[in-house]
Each structure stands twice: as C-alpha cells, then as structure tokens.
Amino acid sequence: DCSVQRRHQKIIEEAPGPGIKPEVRRKLGEAAVRAAKAVNYVGAGTVEFIMDSAHNFYFMEMNTRLQVEHPVTEMVTGTDLVEWQLKVAAGEKIPLTQEEIVLNGHAFEARIYAEDPDNNFMPGAGPLLHLSTPPADSCTRIETGVRQGDEVSIHYDPMIAKLVVWAEDRPAALRKLRYCLQQYNIVGLST
C-alpha cells in the first residue's frame, strides 16, 4: 500500500496493505498477472491499482522494473526480488510459484527526503554534517546513497534514504518504524 503520498511522491509504504481481505488480495494478484500476460511481459515489474473505500480496484499503471518500495515485499515474503530479477534475465525460472509465497508479518518503508518542511517541502540542499541511523539488522534495513560529509544537491531526487522495518504484526511494525525514525538523525540540511 502506497497511499501516503505528497505531490505524487510516496512517503510511506507498507505490506500487506491494511484492511485488504485475503479474497481481495487474491483478486488483485490475479488481475496483475492477467495484465502482464496480456502484453507477454517477462521480468520484474509492478502493476499498480487504486482502490476505493468499497474495495473496488482499478488499474493505474504497470512499471517494467522493480519499484523503489520493493523491500517491503521482500520483508514480508522472505524473497530477494533483485536476485529473482537477475535469474529471469538469465533465462532461469523463478524459484517459487505465487501459490508458494506466504506473507509473514508486516513491513513499513519510510522514505527520507532532503526537503524543507518550512518551505512547502521544497527540495533541500547542503552538507550532511552529521548522520546517525538506527542499527540495521534482519528486521531493519537502511538503503541510502549518502554518508556523513556528503553534499546533497538540488539537481537530483530529494530522496536520500529508505528505512524499512519488519515485525510480527502491523502495530509492532508501526512501533518499530516510529522508534527507528526517532533514532535517525541528520544535521546540516532539512529533512
């Protein structure tokens, strides 16, 4: 679920989507497979839908790549989607069928943006004078391309990191996300 957005930029992602019944989740999966098969698509990809409050869903788009938010899927399925993408590209079969993939627990991804909240969340720039993150472990993942001392430019996407957490259920995962965000400290530019 990628409902928390600002200016068409995703901020928080989670899996599995809250409040989506297993039957609706199954139908979403089947519709995604039908869309990919309709265009003879092979490879990593994401089919996006929008859902109304009555759980009716509508096709939005298909992206022919792994999405930025793929780690939440990896966390709740125990899969490595990048590895699978490479296997498919090499002509190999995916190790598991859809029916063999079991959802386990709940995951959140929070995107860390270099943006100025006092200036309508415009992209920020400047030196990363201090950076400390929560410790990474099997339930906490940090993906970033910046480190302390780097200069963040306004000429690139303002997302500077992704914080991904997993726990046994949604309330525990949300507590872990809040805790880890409190441990994430950046000095030198607005976030």
Q: Do 28 and 75 share a domain, yes or no?
A: yes
Q: Do 54 and 118 share a domain, yes or no?
A: no
Note the pLDDT of residue 149.
94
Q: Do 22 and 86 share a domain, yes or no?
A: yes
Q: Domain containing 171 — which CATH number?
A: 3.30.470.20
Note the pLDDT of residue 189.
82
Asked if residue 130 belongs to a domain, the reply is: yes
CA end-to-end distance (rounded Å), the chain: 23
The parent domain of residue 70 ranges over 4-90
Asked if residue 95 belongs to a domain, the reply is: no
Q: ∠ CA(176), CA(179), CA(185), 5° rounding?
A: 135
Q: Do 24 and 51 share a domain, yes or no?
A: yes
Asked if residue 67 belongs to a domain, the reply is: yes
Note the pLDDT of residue 124.
87
Note the pLDDT of residue 95.
86
Q: Do 82 and 110 share a domain, yes or no?
A: no
Note the pLDDT of residue 155.
86
Q: Taking phi first (over 0 means left), then psi (-120 to 50 degrees means alpha), and beta for anything else, what does residue 83 get?
A: alpha
**Model pLDDT for residues 81-116, shown as the tens digit of each residue:** 999 999 988 999 888 888 899 999 999 999 999 998
Query: Containing H/E element for 37?
Result: helix 22-38
Q: Do 78 and 112 share a domain, yes or no?
A: no
Asked if residue 113 belongs to a domain, the reply is: yes
Note the pLDDT of residue 82.
93
User: Pick from 60, 90, 120: which residue ends a domain?
Assistant: 90
> Would you state the structure tokens that stand for residue 133, as one six-digit string?
């993150």
- In whole angstroms, what is the distance from residue 142 CA to residue 111 CA? 10
User: Pick from 64, 90, 116: which residue ends a domain?
Assistant: 90
Note the pLDDT of residue 74.
96
Q: Do 61 and 14 share a domain, yes or no?
A: yes
Residue matched to tokens 């995951």: 107
Q: Which amino acids are annotated catalytic? A: 65
Q: Do 86 and 8 share a domain, yes or no?
A: yes
Low-confidence residues of the chain, pLDDT below 50?
Answer: none
Q: Do 60 and 116 share a domain, yes or no?
A: no
User: Pick from 90, 124, 143: which residue ends a domain?
Assistant: 90
Q: At what angle do helices 70-77 and 81-89 cross, to 10 degrees?
A: 100
Asked if residue 60 belongs to a domain, the reply is: yes
Note the pLDDT of residue 157.
87
Residues contacting residue 119 through CB under 8 Å, at least 6 positions apart: 190
Note the pLDDT of residue 166.
99
Note the pLDDT of residue 83.
94
Residues contacting residue 31 through CB under 8 Å, at least 6 positions apart: 47, 49, 57, 59
Q: Do 138 and 173 share a domain, yes or no?
A: yes
Number of domains present in the structure of the chain:
2
